[in-house]
Amino acid sequence: MTIHKEGRTLLFFLLIFFSLINVIASNYLPGYETVRLLILIGSVVLFLLVLQFFRNPIFKIAKNDKQVLAPADGKVVVIEETEETEYLKGRRKQISIFMSPINVHVNRMPVEGAISYYKYHPGKYLVAWHPKSSTENERTTVVAKMKNGTEVLFRQIAGAVARRIKCYVTEGQQLEQGQEFGFIKFGSRVDVFLPIDTKINVKVGDITKGGRTVLAELH
């Protein structure tokens, strides 16, 4: 387990801030032991809560070019056939994973492939499970083209709380299955669009682990 780079600066300044608060409480609240203890406990709890947002587990990826891995930790909230209108321009099976604030926020490649499309879209901050969040919220769309020519589209979507999406890819870049491609601070949602004949291995309500849970099998 490591701390993700997106959280290191914030955690450093939080540590300084909470340390100063406790030094001030120690110097200016003599005789108020209970208050000082509550400030100390509150500082530790808040720091640990933020710390867990940026945890980055290390594990071995079981790569398989016939499988689609979950791009994020979270909960499956949508499985449906839909029209993908931005890039693929056709019917696809959509799987949506909601990331809560307690999930790991690292986003990982569901398949191996070259990035054939990438676009950032500014937008709204509707709650992540809102039906229109996929098309109206701030989001990034990424498409990976596999060796067999199959293209898999996945989309990071901001929510009411998560307002910072990080995506590290560029068009033409070759990435491995399970490799980190982005990060969403404090949770939100990731959609994956798959060929219509894909076999889905999960159901709504299932809990996923990014880079480990097999969402689907490609034909």
**Angstrom distance (rounded) from CA 93 to CA 169:** 23
Q: What pLDDT score does 130 carry?
A: 57
Instruction: Tell me which residue range forms the domain holding 35.
Output: 2-56
Residues 46 and 105 in one domain: no
pLDDT, tens only, 16-27: 999 999 998 888
Q: What pLDDT score does 112 carry?
A: 97
Residues 38 and 71 in one domain: no
Q: Please, what is the average pLDDT of the chain?
A: 89
Would the pLDDT of 135 be above 70?
Answer: no
Q: Are 214 and 110 in contact (CB under 8 A)?
A: no
- Pick the residue with more confidence: 120 or 126? 120
Residues 71 and 52 in one domain: no
The strand pairing partners of 165, in sequence order, are 184
Is 61 a member of any domain?
no
Q: Are 135 and 122 in contact (CB under 8 A)?
A: no
Q: Determine the average pLDDT of the residues in 119-132.
A: 69
Reduced to 3 states (helix: H, G, I; strand: E, B; else coil), residue 6 is: helix
Q: What is the maximum alpha-carbon separation in the chain?
A: 72
Catalytic residues: 188
Is 187 a member of any domain?
yes
Residues 87 and 107 in one domain: yes
Residues 75 and 28 in one domain: no
- Pick the residue with more confidence: 26 or 154? 154
**Angstrom distance (rounded) from CA 79 to CA 8:** 35
Name the pTM for this structure.
Answer: 0.85
pLDDT, tens only, 157-216: 987 665 578 899 999 999 999 999 999 877 688 999 999 999 999 999 999 999 999 999
